[in-house]
Structure 1
Amino acid sequence: MTETSGLRALVTRNLRQSGIYVAFVAIVALFAVLTDGVLLSPGNLTNIVLQYSYILILALGMLLVIIAGHIDLSVGSVVALTGAVSAVLVIQKGMPWGVGVAAAIGVGLLVGAWHGFWVAFVGIPAFIVTLAGMLLFRGLTLQVLGNISLSPFPAEYQKTASGFINGLLGGPGYDTFTLVIAAVGVVGYGYSAVRGRLARIAYQQAVESMPLFVVKLAAIATVVMAFAWQLANNRGLPIVLIILGVLIMTYALITKQTVFGRHIYAIGGNLSAAQLSGVKVRWVNFWIFVNMGMLSGVAGVVYSARSNGAQPSAGNMFELDAIAACFIGGAAVTGGVGTVVGAMVGGLIMAVMSNGMQLLGIDQSIQQVVKGLVLLLAVAFDVYNKRRSAQAR
């Protein structure tokens, strides 16, 4: 293979992922101009983190489900149910807020095990199982709440989604701690990227040129530190951002460095080959849905803390936002393809679009139309790429 053809193959292979980043920057720049800079103001960036963190949490779990070739339509209802259980225990029963958090996550785990049993061991398609779950758990939410809303949560519970860490290291007019945490994250990402590049070189895989690699790292570092600077000049580091950051690093490690992660990709990429290779497909599928239930419980806590209560209608359409984040971020409809970073960028695209349109006063119905078109185009692009790859072979 010549150097030119190798570079062409590398560009083709990474076209979609690179396109997502370009699209994200373009969308941010567009709405920054249209809103006269309000989109990138410290207060608004903080609000984006607080308002859309639970969608990103759900997208992490949905990514694993989609990579394995499944779908989960029930997560919005599970968010509502877990928040309702927490509200009943903490608000009605007067139990400590930690009990409510543990109960919500525990209910999420049970729901995930329920779905995993029917999908993995009974063999019912996940679409049907989770569609039934969407109805079942929404009904249970109404039963738990008695068709009423419960509020307010104690202040400690609310801090899960609305609290901040600031002032630990001081700073002349800004929060130094936020900048330090961001810098540590940038260094960690850079170290991981360098290790990954060296590993690909060792296995004689194609990599981008060193100047391009350095520019990419510098661009990411600049964006992260600029974002941190804006947060530091507002209220400091949101607690929910710390939770989300830990989850992102954990799931990036799971998908890239663990046997379980490789088995998920194997199942979604070629189920028959995975079975012949000794992958315990049933158990992998089971734990994928248990994980999705657990993250739905975490999202339920964050959302209920953010809204300071539990409502029967909570979590409506959350599953579609999480699915859209994964597909826009590069996950393949047929499974076997997708990254944590891509899903997070996809989720941020949806968040920036929603926030930007709200700042512009665009009607909610138009917002839904725009988001639907973006999702359709993302999936169409995936189908187009697959057809081109098939024709090339």
Structure 2
Amino acid sequence: MNELKKLMKNNIEKFGMVIALAGLILIFSVLTGGTILSPLNITNLIMQNSYIIILAIGMVLVIITGEIDLSVGSVAAFVGAVAGVLLINLELSVYIAIPLALLTGALIGAWHGFWIAYMKIPAFIVTLAGMLLFRGLTMVTLGGRTLAPFPAEFRTISSQFIDDWFNGNEYHLLTIVIAAVAILSYVVYEVMRRRKNIELNISVESNGLFIAKLVFIALVMVAFTERMASYAGLPYIFFLLLALVLGYTFFTNKTVSGRHVYAVGGNEKAAQLSGVKSQKVKFWVFVNMGVLSAVSGLMFAGRLNAATPQAGQLFELDAIAAAVIGGASLTGGAGTVVGALIGALIMGLLDNGMSIMGVGIDWQQAIKALVLLGAVAFDIINKNKKK
């Protein structure tokens, strides 16, 4: 028990997010009569929040460097409009249109990165200008109209499910097989990591606590699998999100470039004296943000099956809120990809749960604002305690 208390105290932000997410699930389960945990609703929760999760992953890197990006919603809308013109008006193949749309996002990110990293113009001003510029260009590109429908191939990733190779009746058997492999892989990884830490004389949790952690996470994965397998299985977008979360987690934790991002946000001058090229780091962080904004715009357009001038409204605020609620510090140097994921799920769960309960959009916005304020206040109070 003492070890558990010490572990929670040392990881108060991480456990706080998980507890908050679990608490919200429990509260909405009671208030909605279990509807929040129905297979259909869990699937909708993943699909409806996929584009916010994608943006939150990019936004957390931007915030870690001590910057901000207010343009991501407008960029997502603009890229969706570009995709609409390429696929619907010009009838290009998806294998040509999607790379061109992603390149558009990268160029926009490079445009922002140039002014911020090399010209030293504050990110708030540059991306605010970008928000207005690309919202206007979206309307110009679409001529104020909505373009629809998109080709079926384009909509596959954002709205379709993987086929069941085993042709299960009551359950989607391929989903169960994938989950079994994932659980086994996770257990093997954790055991190997623990052994390596012991060999390096790095302190680890007790055997009992370690086993309890494995069992708990495995049970959560089993419960999630049962819900998804009893409906239509796993959507393609789930695998994209999983790849992004794992890929960016590896990048931030295990690569030199990832550590440079934290170094620049923690203390830019010290990082420069250590040989880190801070301008280059910030430039590529914004290029990355542009690409992920493009991916988000494509996913949103695919799910909506239309390119519309109103797309991406307030996406930037949801992405920033997800990153901050997930533990990212607006002063830079702190934040994780997994935290951003949990923050996005908390925001999505709030929207979804209150919508099921019939709460009006006005009260939804007010409650989300209070949650964001509370997350920032918690971060500041926690930092003051450490000082």
Q: TM-score range by the shorter chain?
A: over 0.9
Match of 1:16 in 2: 13
Please point out which of 123, 128, 131 is paired with 1:131. 128
* SS at structure 1 position matched to 2:158: helix
Matched, 1:285 2:282: yes
Please, which runs of 5 or more residues in structure 2 have no aligned partner?
none
Distance 1:72 1:346, change over 3 A: same
In the TM superposition, 1:89-128 aligns within 5 A as 89-128=86-125
Match of 1:35 in 2: 32
How many angstroms does 1:182 deviate by? 2.2
Match of 1:45 in 2: 42
**Aligned mates of 1:244, 1:363 — CA distance in 2:** 29
* SS at structure 2 position matched to 1:165: coil
In the TM superposition, 1:1-393 aligns within 5 A as 10-198=7-195, 200-201=197-198, 204-390=201-387
* SS at structure 1 position matched to 2:241: helix
Describe the superposition over 1:3-34 as per-residue Cα deviations: whole angstroms up to 9, x where unpaired.
Answer: x7x98764433011101111111100110111
Q: Which stretch of the first structure deviates more once superposed, 93-102 or 379-388?
A: 93-102
* SS at structure 2 position matched to 1:237: coil
* SS at structure 1 position matched to 2:33: coil
Q: Give the residue type in structure 2 aligned to 1:157.
A: F
**Aligned mates of 2:378, 2:192 — CA distance in 1:** 31
Q: Give the residue type in structure 2 aligned to 1:347.
A: A
Distance 1:324 1:197, change over 3 A: farther
- Compute the RMSD of aligned alpha carbons: 1.8
**Aligned mates of 1:142, 1:201 — CA distance in 2:** 58
Q: Which stretch of the first structure deviates more once superposed, 54-63 or 227-236?
A: 227-236
Q: Give the residue type in structure 2 aligned to 1:252.
A: T
How many angstroms does 1:212 deviate by? 2.1
* SS at structure 1 position matched to 2:209: helix
TM-score calculated relative to the size of structure 1: 0.94
TM-score calculated relative to the size of structure 2: 0.95
**Aligned mates of 1:375, 1:206 — CA distance in 2:** 35
- Percent identity among equivalent residues? 51
Q: Give the residue type in structure 1 aligned to 2:130.
A: G
Q: Give the residue type in structure 1 aligned to 2:377.
A: A
Describe the superposition over 1:36-79 as per-residue Cα deviations: whole angstroms up to 9, x where unpaired.
Answer: 11111111111111111111011111111111111111100010
**Aligned mates of 2:184, 2:340 — CA distance in 1:** 22
- The answer to whether the 8 A contact 1:252-1:340 is kept is yes
* SS at structure 2 position matched to 1:301: helix
Distance 1:198 1:318, change over 3 A: farther
**Aligned mates of 2:31, 2:226 — CA distance in 1:** 22
